[in-house]
Structure 1
């Protein structure tokens, strides 16, 4: 499902990621470990489509990241360690907004949002995101990452 070949990312003369290759098949769990500065975050940003590699190739679900970045992004649910939220929005509006970004129709968005709110025991009760506890905000970020029902997490 994920085929990375010789992924490299340069920032000027600085090599952030050097010649990384791996395959991850459907149903597998793949871990990324390394010391500080090893390129873990850079690799995750490439895998999620947030940045493009300087060289190498990445095919996810049969789609090439360079040739079809939007299709690749639509298959991925990515939750970074720190996740900025739109603090003045209500949770249902926030999930609807991201569902629309992913091109979902209103019925699907509502069904997915209702399911995720129930599964995550997320009951925002009309509060703005900025007024939620840290744990509840994290649940909102998780729901946002799953709203489009990605095949890869």
Structure 2
């Protein structure tokens, strides 16, 4: 069980988004992957993944490239077992160039509150320096 569970209310959807944001900001692939079903389906930009093992491998590589990663997520919409979010995150590469990434995600959950589908569209923009507060 991974509360809050569907069907979502506005309060529980906002909590689910905040918990996801907090988990991703740990940059711990193993911890993040526990929020997804064993056979979770992902689309992240042009990458398609299935299952926790692929999620862990993907996030491990991501956070080796995207240094000092900081993320903000915001609830966009919800219904039943689905949540849509918009987000922004900042990171820098090994050369020191900072980026801000903007995107949207569509999530679908199983009855136990685990995410079974995650579809993300993301765009990166080079920036001069990180912001004190990431704009969403």
TM-score normalised by length of structure 1: 0.30
**Counting strand residues as a fraction of each chain, which structure ranks higher?**
2
Structure number with larger C-alpha Rg:
1
TM-score normalised by length of structure 2: 0.32
**Counting helix residues as a fraction of each chain, which structure ranks higher?**
1
